[in-house]
Amino acid sequence: MDTRQRIIEATAELLRSAQPGGVSTRDICRAAGITPPTLYHHFGDKEGLYDAVAAYGFDTYLNGRRSLSHSADPVEILIFAWDAHIEFGLTHPSLYTLMFGSGRTDADTPAALRSRSIFTDILARVARAGRLRIDIDQATLVLEAAVVGTTLQAIRSGHDPAVAAHLRTTVLASLVTGIAGDNVDATLTSAASQLAASLDEADGSVLKPVEMALLKEWLRLLATATVDPRVRSVAREST
């Protein structure tokens, strides 16, 4: 094991039983068998180290949970990903706090970006299946805000499985079709999202770039114009 990896694993082990603020540079150096200059050489500062530790912990966790990665149902994968995200936060509260609850405003942590990319990839599959109500970028933002908020609240106030399940159903039903409790007619939304996802894989030989951009914008408007059932209800009453 190289020095950098040894420092990461030693820090991760310290964080299993302490909050980030309770682990000093001296503690880390002692556990890894290094001096402070070595730590700074590899990570720049303590924040850089914590970014690397969070990414390591998150990827290690994900590597042990691949059972649904090849499922034929993308919504099933999305549900699994939501549950796995919360489980990671509850079983690794210090690492999760480093990823999402550290109060940083300068940039996302590498681990947070990794988490977001996973949700984006899954939502793209949902869109290609014609089951996404809004465009992929918006759905990713909504999903990330909801699952991170749910997880941080569970870490701080205790996990209530019933509340977590209700939140999951409510959030996912607003984003995709085929969720229990879903009673919103979203045929147009789903079709627009599906076509938009397919266009991302097209070779571009049929439409000019300007035409493609315009079509994608129209599809985005169609995908987002029918999200709120109240808006749809008002429109029907006016006709």
- Domain match, 151 and 189 both: yes
Q: Do 152 and 202 share a domain, yes or no?
A: yes
What is the distance in angstroms between the CA of the first residue and the CA of the last residue of the chain? 70
What are the beta bridge partners of residue 132?
176
Q: Are residues 85 and 45 in the same domain?
A: no
User: What distance in Å separates the CA atoms of residue 27 and residue 6, rounded to the nearest whole number?
Assistant: 14
pTM: 0.69
Domain end, chosen from 62, 80, 112, is at 62
Statement to judge: residues 27 and 113 lie in one domain: no
50: containing domain: 3-62
Kindly state whether residues 124 and 184 are assigned to the same domain: yes
56 and 107 belong to one structural domain = no
How far is Cα 31 from Cα 43, in angstroms, rounded to an integer?
A: 16
CATH number at residue 12: 1.10.10.60
Q: Is residue 100 located within the same domain as residue 37? A: no
Indicate if 10 and 120 belong to the same structural domain.
Answer: no
> How far, in Å, CA of 190 to CA of 129, rounded?
9
Handedness of CA 170, 176, 181, 187 (dihedral sign): positive
Same domain for 144 and 213 = yes
| SS3 assignment, position 28 | helix
Provide the domain count of the chain: 2
pLDDT tens by residue, the chain, 239 residues: 799 999 999 999 998 877 767 789 999 999 999 999 999 999 999 889 988 998 888 888 877 666 555 677 899 899 989 999 999 899 888 888 888 876 655 567 788 888 899 999 999 999 999 999 999 999 999 999 999 999 998 988 889 888 888 889 889 988 998 775 444 445 556 666 777 777 766 655 556 677 677 777 767 666 665 444 433 333 334 33
